């Protein structure tokens, strides 16, 4: 089968991420083997998501709630990976997005660590949405705010959250401007300390978590964001940055076309030229050195989306506060070797927040 170049690009660049973040490897193989043209990508994944939705509903009706939660989660991930880069058809993207939010919310009560969808007041009277999950074995736990990247969403960070929860930390996964539930009305913004400030303000109003001990973890573009946020939001105690770009403008031209199109869309730009101009603000030069708390930088040596030099520059500028975990065999976000860094980063964060 001769695939559309965009289909092959999605498979080549992101296959390990699908499996590491919740897609069954059998679903991945079956779905991607059936897609020849990019125009069919979103709908084919939606068809897979619909199968899991029905299996979840059947299990729920029979009182098999653990099974229902598993299927609803798989459904949410299928819909998400159908729409994550599918910006050429906003109608399909929006429809799949609504399934992501709804299916994950249906799964929330049935997880080993259940959660709640929370509404966080945001500037201009708007709302930022998050998923708060707490460890049932720890009273007033510290909280790790999980930040998605350019084409990820709060729901995709579910598996990351499990590691923190098992170690007695709560997690608040958010969609910031240009992400998930905020991608339709809000453009991406370089000053991500603003949404983080609103998130911490919200946590401070909750008596069931310890907002004096808040950490950040961000992946890909979210890695860039958390370094920026930690530099200016001094309530952050520790930060984990995974494969974020030091300078997003420098990184833009080398990304696959699918990724560049997505960045234009989520910046609310009308062209690549306009996106390039806006990306001038997305740099950590003179910023990374302002991070006062511990900073863990995770970087893959085989990263084909963000040059490994970006992670090294972030760590170097942050200086003594930074610790660099460089994995020579790691791809983008080191999704091909999650066992080498995900449990270990949770151990690192628990130590910092204890």
Q: Find all residues with CB under 8 Å of 194, minimum gap 6, and list them.
A: 123
The secondary structure of 244-289 as a DSSP string is --SBHHHHHTTS-HHHHHHHHHHTT-SSHHHHHHHHTT-B-TTTGG
Helix (H), strand (E) counts: the chain: 13, 8
pLDDT of residue 219: 98
Residue with token string 């729409």? 83
Which two tokens mark 251? 């990184």
pLDDT of residue 310: 98
The secondary element (H helix, E strand) that includes residue 121 is: strand 115-121
- pLDDT tens across the length of the chain (354 residues): 678 999 999 999 999 999 999 999 999 999 999 999 999 999 999 999 999 999 999 999 999 999 999 999 999 999 999 999 999 999 999 999 999 999 999 999 999 999 999 999 999 999 999 999 999 999 999 999 999 999 999 999 999 999 999 999 999 999 999 999 999 999 999 999 999 999 999 999 999 999 999 999 999 999 999 999 999 999 999 999 999 999 999 999 889 999 999 999 999 999 999 999 999 999 999 999 999 999 999 999 999 999 999 999 999 999 999 999 999 999 999 999 999 999 999 999 999 999
Could you give the 3-state DSSP secondary structure of residue 56? helix
The secondary structure of 174-191 as a DSSP string is E--TTSGGGTTT----S-
CA 290 to CA 229: how far, in whole Å? Answer: 10
pLDDT of residue 1: 61
* Through-space distance between the first and last CA atoms of the chain, rounded to whole angstroms: 53
4 closest CA partner among 257, 312, 314, 288: 257
pLDDT of residue 120: 98
Q: What is the DSSP letter of 301?
A: T
pLDDT of residue 2: 76
**Region at 324 (left for phi over 0; alpha for psi -120 to 50; beta for the rest):** beta
């Amino acid at each position: 089968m001769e695939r559309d170049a965009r289909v092959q690009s999605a498979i080549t660049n992101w296959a390990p991420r699908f499996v590491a973040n919740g897609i069954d490897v059998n679903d991945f193989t079956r779905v991607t083997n059936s897609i020849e043209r990019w125009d069919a990508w979103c709908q084919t994944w939606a068809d897979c998501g619909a199968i899991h939705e029905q299996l979840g509903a059947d299990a729920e009706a029979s009182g098999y709630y653990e099974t229902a939660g598993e299927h609803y989660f798989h459904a949410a991930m299928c819909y998400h990976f159908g729409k994550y880069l599918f910006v050429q058809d906003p109608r399909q993207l929006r429809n799949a997005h609504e399934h992501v939010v709804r299916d994950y919310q249906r799964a929330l009560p049935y997880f080993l660590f259940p959660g709640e969808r929370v509404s966080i007041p945001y500037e201009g009277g708007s709302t930022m949405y998050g998923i708060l999950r707490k460890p049932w074995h720890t009273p007033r736990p510290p909280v790790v705010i999980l930040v998605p990247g350019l084409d990820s969403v709060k729901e995709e960070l579910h598996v990351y959250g499990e590691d923190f929860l098992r170690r007695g930390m709560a997690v608040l996964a958010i969609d910031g401007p240009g992400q998930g539930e905020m991608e339709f009305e809000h453009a991406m913004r370089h000053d991500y300390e603003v949404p983080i400030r609103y998130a911490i303000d919200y946590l401070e109003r909750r008596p069931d978590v310890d907002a004096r001990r808040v950490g950040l973890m961000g992946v890909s573009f979210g890695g860039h964001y958390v370094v920026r946020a930690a530099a200016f939001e001094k309530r952050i105690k520790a930060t984990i940055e995974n494969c974020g770009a030091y300078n997003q403008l420098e990184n833009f031209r080398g990304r696959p076309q699918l990724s560049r199109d997505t960045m234009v869309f989520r910046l609310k730009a009308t062209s690549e030229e306009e996106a390039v101009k806006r990306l001038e603000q997305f740099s950590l030069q003179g910023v990374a050195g302002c991070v006062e708390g511990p900073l863990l930088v995770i970087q893959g040596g085989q990263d084909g989306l963000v040059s490994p030099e970006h992670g090294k520059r972030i760590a170097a500028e942050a200086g003594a506060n930074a610790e660099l975990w460089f994995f020579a065999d790691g791809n983008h976000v080191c999704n091909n070797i999650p066992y080498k860094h995900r449990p270990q980063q949770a151990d690192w964060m628990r130590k910092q927040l204890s």
